[in-house]
Amino acid sequence: MSNCIIPDRELMSSGHLGCQGCGAGHAMRFALKGLGPKSILVMPACCWSVIDGPFPHSSLGVPLFHTAFETAGSTASGIKAGLVMRGDTETEVVAWAGDGGTFDIGLQALSGAAERNEDIIYVCYDNEAYMNTGIQRSGATPAGAWTTTTPTAHPKEHPKKKMLDILVAHSIPYATTTSIAYPEDMVAKFKKVRKIRGTRFVHIFAPCPTGWKTAPEYTIELARLATESHLFPLLEVYDGERWEIAKPQRVRSVADYVKLQGRFRHLKDEDIEKMQKEVDENWERLLAKESLNSIKKH
Amino acid sequence: MVLANINRAVGPPWNVWSDQNDSLSQRDVGMLQVYCESNQEVFDTVLHSFWVSEQLMLPTMLVLDAFYLSHTCEIVEVMEPDEARAYLPPYEPKHFLSPDHPTAFGNLTAPDSYYELRYQIDRDLRRGIELMRQADQRFEEVFGRSYGIIEEYRTEDADLLVVTSGTITGTARVVIDECRDAGKRVGLVKMRLFRPFPADDVCRILRPAKKVAVIDRNIGFSIGGIFAQEIRAALFSAGIHLPVFGFIAGIGGRDVTPDTIHEIVDQTEHMDAPDQEVYWIGVKHEQLHHTR
């Protein structure tokens, strides 16, 4: 995924309504550089419903259809079918949803679309809570994190839902994770998904300074730390069975990642050690999955 | 866009039979609403609805009763595709999603613009009364079938007008015939178009009568039947003082028989004016539980 040339053409303009240091803004900018202008975005309720700008403005150079929270997968399926009926098989329909609209509220419509192997791209930009509505926990919020609905006296108990595994279980042609800390990786993967047919799932790690209680200038550093600590590995899964996992050149501790964030400030050293142990175990499991590739039929 | 809504009761409790509370609870979303009596009318209304919706750029909900229409068989006359195309030419949308002219649809609209957009929906929806009338007239010219936006049945010289919608109308026709045979001056008014609400037509048709009995297969809790409410409001606004009797019947698929409608006609004939806002017909009082 290296040696990718990032296109100069900008399909996202300034004047959008993202917060300072918003990771979701980077996600959109580089996704569109990879996807190019022949794309239509389908947007359920999420931060980007607001970031794009109010009527009659839009900060994007591609058409955009706002839809209800739970319907990104089904709306995208319908728009794709409409384009095909009109004879347009070239334009990509891209569902662009946050983690709430993917992990929780939109899961049914997404699962339906994936099971039918609809010819759409589904993107989840993940900031690990309902940030747009005031930092309520979602199924993507990691255990231990503070949110307004999991206050420090009762931080989130349950681990982050393994969303990619759920998509992989649908045996879709391509599922991948990427991160705003690696724009070359993002652009290359979005160029790549355009060449694959069927349901494609892209999970982007996009930190949120407002909800994570972090300084805006740490957004990209945090995203990089998440990957380097094995907390958010960059990987690709083909046809639900072949796993390819990027190994970070330098490995950092979970503590380095956690200590920059206000949402984890209440954690004790033993809590962070527990997180580290869980991350290590997940990483081992991932490598084990990758090691099974050789025995798979091809 | 045309949405066919099969009228089913809403919970609680769970019920799969017919009443109109599902569609009438959506009466103010900006869709046209047309209530149909037969499957032929449903089929024909699909064409009317597309013709009107494509001009107004507002969706139409055509409404049919659960089970009475949705789960029964009726012979429906289907025209040739060429004939249908002559009535309803191919649609060329003014606005659509295309990378050639990027546009955001349905984005966040602040109070400085939302107000005007809602005003436009109200203004445009009102045009639907004349367009639905034209849709029906054009249809009659081509296919020989017409329903009107409101249908009048034996309303000439009627002292009492019974107002219905949906499949109850078919039963009511029989009752009206029987009443007329017995020398009663009773007529029937079938409400077909409900949104936009054809207030002028309602007033013109009801004005000559002495009493009106509205049969609602729906309930606006604490205020009565929804058709009755809107008819009363239209008459009041026009300065027409008519006793409007509101009857609730058929909710959740309770059978509305000729006897039910005879009971409604008899009760209305024997009273000068309603002494209640709403009359629930056929409530089994022995089944009622008392609230604490």
Alpha-carbon distance A39 to nearest alpha carbon in chain B (angstroms): 6
Indicate the pairing of strand B186-191 with strand B150-153.
antiparallel
Alpha helices in B63-198 (DSSP H): 81-87, 111-143, 168-181
**pLDDT at residue number A3:** 62
What is the residue-averaged pLDDT of chain B?
97
Place A297 in a pLDDT band, splitting at 50, 70 and 90: low
Find which of B95, B108, B120 to mutate to test the A interface (most A CBs within 10 Å of its CB). Answer: B108
Alpha-carbon distance A245 to nearest alpha carbon in chain B (angstroms): 34
**CATH homologous superfamily for B2-143?**
Thiamin diphosphate (ThDP)-binding fold, Pyr/PP domains (3.40.50.970)
Contact A183, A191 (CB under 8 A): no
Give the residue extent of every domain in chain B: 2-143, 150-290
| Cα A223–chain centre separation | 12
Contact check, Cβ <8 Å, B107/A58 = yes
Say yes or no to pLDDT of A173 above 80.
Answer: yes
Taking the CA of residue A129 as centre, how many other CA atoms within 13 Å lie in the half-sphere pointing to its CB? 27
**pLDDT at residue number A296:** 59
Contact check, Cβ <8 Å, A63/B108 = no
> Which of A39, A58, A79 is the closest to B104 by Cβ?
A58
Distance CA A218, CA A207 (A): 9
Contact list, A81 vs chain B (CB under 8 Å): none
Interfacial residues of B (vs A; Cβ cutoff 8 Å): 97-99, 101-110, 113
Contact list, B99 vs chain A (CB under 8 Å): 37-40, 62-63, 91
Cβ within 8 Å of residue B190, ≥6 positions away: B37, B150, B151, B152, B153, B163, B164, B165, B169
Alpha-carbon distance B107 to nearest alpha carbon in chain A (angstroms): 6
Radius of gyration from C-alpha coordinates of chain A:
18
Cβ within 8 Å of residue A143, ≥6 positions away: A155, A156, A157, A158, A159, A160, A275, A278
Query: Strands, E, within chain B: which ranges?
Result: 2-7, 32-35, 60-65, 104-105, 150-153, 160-164, 186-191, 193-195, 211-216, 244-248, 279-280
Phi-psi region of B196 (alpha: psi -120 to 50; beta: other; left: phi over 0): beta
What is the residue-averaged pLDDT of chain A?
96
Count of CB atoms situated within 10 Å of the CB of A164: 17
pLDDT in tens, B195-239: 999 999 999 999 999 999 999 999 999 999 999 999 999 999 999
pLDDT in tens, A231-288: 999 999 999 999 999 999 999 999 999 999 999 999 999 999 999 999 999 999 999 9
User: How many A/B residue pairs have CB atoms within 8 Å?
Assistant: 63
Distance CA A212, CA A242 (A): 34
Contact check, Cβ <8 Å, A66/B105 = yes
pLDDT in tens, A131-161: 999 999 999 999 999 999 999 999 999 999 9
**Closest-CA residue in chain A for B104?**
A64
Distance CA B155, CA A230 (A): 80
Contact list, B104 vs chain A (CB under 8 Å): 52-53, 55, 58, 60, 63-66
Look up residue A287 and give its two tokens: 């490598």
**pTM (two decimals):** 0.93
Contact A44, A87 (CB under 8 A): no
Find which of A60, A64, A71, A96 to mutate to test the B interface (most B CBs within 10 Å of its CB). Answer: A64
Domains B2-143 and B150-290 share a fold: yes
Contact B5, B32 (CB under 8 A): no
Cβ within 8 Å of residue A220, ≥6 positions away: A26, A180, A181
> Which of B102, B106, B108 is the closest to A62 by Cβ?
B102
Fold of B150-290: Rossmann fold (3.40.50)
All structural domains of chain A: 23-297 (3.40.50.970)
Distance CA A113, CA B225 (A): 41
Contact list, B29 vs chain A (CB under 8 Å): none
Distance CA A223, CA A139 (A): 19
Contact check, Cβ <8 Å, B103/A63 = yes
Contact B232, B244 (CB under 8 A): yes
Say yes or no to pLDDT of A298 above 60.
Answer: no
Q: Which of A278, A184, A290, A206 is nearest to A247 (CA)?
A: A290
> Which of A37, A52, A67 is the closest to B99 by Cβ?
A37
**pLDDT at residue number A147:** 98
Place A294 in a pLDDT band, splitting at 50, 70 and 90: confident
pLDDT in tens, A2-58: 567 899 999 999 999 999 999 999 999 999 999 999 999 999 999 999 999 999 999
Radius of gyration from C-alpha coordinates of chain B:
20
**What secondary structure letter does DSSP report for B94?**
S
Alpha-carbon distance A183 to nearest alpha carbon in chain B (angstroms): 24
**Closest-CA residue in chain A for B112?**
A55
- Whether ipTM exceeds 0.90: no
Q: Which of A165, A167, A175, A149 is nearest to A113 (CA)?
A: A167
> Is B117 strand, coil or helix?
helix
> Which of B99, B101, B107 is the closest to A38 by Cβ?
B99
Find which of B101, B105, B115 to mutate to test the A interface (most A CBs within 10 Å of its CB). Answer: B105
For helices B226-237 and B199-206, the axis angle rounded to 10 degrees is 80
